[in-house]
Amino acid sequence: MRKMNYNCNAGFSRLFHWLQPVSGMHLQQSKQNRLKPVKQPAEACVTCLRTSLFLFIFTLLSFSLFAETIALQSFESQATDTYSYTANPTPDSKRIWWGPTSENMGGATAYQGTIYWAGWDLDNVESTITFQTLTLQAGYTYNVSFYYFTKNLATTNDYCRYSVKYDNGTNWDGWVTVNNNSNAWTAVSVDVPSGSNYLRLRLSSKFDGPTKYAHWDYIKVEKTPIPNTAPVVSNVTVSQRMDGSKLVDIWYDLFDAESELCEITFKLSADGGASYDIIPSLANLSGDFGNDLPSGTNKHIVWNAGAESYSLNANNYLYRVYADDGSTPPMPENFVLVEGGTFNNGTSDVTLSSFYIDKYELTQAGYQAVMGSNPASGYGEGSNYPVYNVNWFNAIEYSNRRTMQEGLTPCYSYGTYGTNPDNWPGGWNNDYNNHTNVTCNWTAGGYRLPTEMEWQFAARGGNQTHNYTYSGSNDINAVAFYWDNGGSTQPYSTHTVGGFAPNELGTFDMSGNVWEWVWDIYGDYPSGSQTNPTGANSGSNRVLRGGSWYFDANYCTVSNRVDGVATGSGSNVGFRLCRVSP
């Protein structure tokens, strides 16, 4: 069992024209949704070696986890009071009381120690305490907690409230108002959403009258190691020495949340990332490479590339640095982690658990390796082109067969016939009505289609989103192959996968190239908040997302959705896979 991470780098006649026409296909454009922006992962590039970030999280060997206080403010002026803040108004700047005190005010004394922050008779002036912005380190869960005491605040006009934000901005919203008459110290505890890079906190009170009070005390932020966290490789730089020595310097930072020792390895790709099968000889490596390396910055590997037995001339190489701390099995190459989070799909808030998704659409080579044949013909052919002419049933069968080849637990069953497609009845995939006979085991570890909401979350960049219209950019020409930038050129063709820039997570072609089947039965979005939704319970069609080479930009947005019968296929229809996160 191992745990690994690596760093490397309308009125439109063609509308849903499948080129191999299929009835029952529908188009719908839904409004764009907004996600909270956070910092984008770094990528290092050099002339002939490029590095991109990939993150995998796996199961950790069991051990005790302890919370560590990283910021505290008790107003006791002690060395442990490291959570700095700014008060407005400043204490003693007005005839009101807004500041630290050891006195009994309204029946309150300090929750802990002798001093607390008191608010009394504020003259209807909004009074705030704004704490420093904290930068959060990967590999931990975070919690912010504090205590409040209120007395006699009116239910209208008066308030005692707080706002917690998870960005590096300056706006304050999402206020939570506490009990206006607690008459006792009351705890507030807020868990920071997974994947947040920053934490901001502001406390605020407003009221008037000498019998009204609002106090605060013991503000604390804690972090706890995540028991499923892979080591993180970051800040990778690669350079070739210009002195004729043919030596290559690789610099990187390594962090393991559990302080476990890691094995560092790396591989290269000469085919644009389709495979990483170039492994440098151990004899030509030196420095921070190999077993039992601790966390640290400015790690340095020296590779004597000129001594390798194979030629490294006239190619651009993708380069991956791997860190393995020995806990759980690695995920397949080319999958990226989508950390769980919450977003709004335009109708409701959707909360998703973490999952892995293939950064590429499934290629023709990948499909043929499992199914023994390649259905793609006439619209771009080759190992690194996306597979097309595949229907929803094909994607289901492929998922289970690949899963079984790799010794994993299949996700899909057909009726009472189990998970092995060899045992499914003849003609199971000929009638589109049979799609409701397929069920999914959502906890199984095998390959499956993403749900529609998983797909949309990943296409938007997950927790790292920049709120782009298309997957990875507001400039569709940078990230997508579609009608206006090449799809209309004859002979008509798909494009090789990964040929345009990736999105914030490192996934490619989630706008354009080929439509992608997802799991869900098509239906209206529910209006209430959802957690890990899997689509409508009934219906005739399944959902496709992403647009394709045969459509214009309007159909390539991250929010556009279409639907089709499960037996439908065409020269601009493919899919990509995902897996659950341990």
DSSP per residue over 338-401, as a string? E--EEEE-SSSEEEE--EEEESSPPBHHHHHHHHS-----SS--STTSBP-S--HHHHHHHHHH
- Is 477 a member of any domain? yes
> β-pairing, 561-564 with 573-575?
unpaired
Task: Let me know whether 59 and 79 are in one domain.
Answer: no
Do 195 and 55 belong together in one domain? no
- Does a structural domain hold residue 23? no
pLDDT at 53 over 60: no
| Residue 20 belongs to a domain | no
Quick one: tokens of 53?
Answer: 């970030």
- Are 152 and 297 part of one and the same domain? no
- Residue 406 and residue 313 share a domain: no
Residue 57 pLDDT > 60: no
Say how far apart CA 511 and CA 390 lie, in whole Å. Answer: 18
Q: Is residue 255 part of a domain?
A: yes
Phi, psi of 348 (to 5 degrees): -150, 165
CATH code for position 50: 2.60.40
Answer yes or no: is 201 within a domain: yes
Q: What confidence tier does 255 reach under pLDDT thresholds 50, 70, 90?
A: confident
Task: For residue 362, tell me if it sits in a domain.
Answer: yes
Same domain for 219 and 298?
no
Domain boundary, last residue among 306, 330, 354: 330
Residues 304 and 434 in one domain: no
β-strand 530-531 against 349-352: which pairing, if any?
parallel
Residues 162 and 293 in one domain: no
Q: Considering the domain boundaries, does residue 16 fall inside one?
A: no
Q: Which pLDDT score, from 0 to 100, does residue 37 have?
A: 25
The CA distance from 267 to 127, in Å, is 57
For 489-528, strand residue ranges (E) read: 515-521
pLDDT, position 330: 62
Per-residue pLDDT at 313:
63
Q: What CATH number is given to the structural domain containing 558?
A: 3.90.1580.10
473 and 540 co-located in one domain: yes
**pTM: predicted TM-score of the whole model, two decimal places:** 0.51
- Residues 139-143: what's their mean pLDDT? 82
**Listed residues 330, 359, 375: the one ending a domain:** 330
| pLDDT confidence of residue 226 | 66
Residues composing the chain: 582
In this structure, the answer to whether residues 326 and 472 fall within a common structural domain is: no
Pair (322, 365) in one structural domain: no
* Last residue of one domain, picked from the residues 304, 330, 356: 330
pLDDT at 23: 29
- Domain count for the chain, please give it: 3
Per-residue pLDDT of 507-517, as tens digits, reads 999 999 999 99
Q: What is the pLDDT of residue 523?
A: 95
Distance between CA 419 and CA 410 in Å, rounded? 6
Q: Are residues 358 and 400 in the same domain?
A: yes
pLDDT tens digit string along 333-377? 799 999 899 999 999 999 999 899 999 999 999 999 999 999 999
Distance CA 245, CA 210 (A): 80
Same domain, 232 and 215: no
Q: Residue 281 sits in which domain range?
A: 44-63+228-330
What is the rounded average pLDDT of the residues 164-170?
91
**456 in a domain, yes or no?**
yes
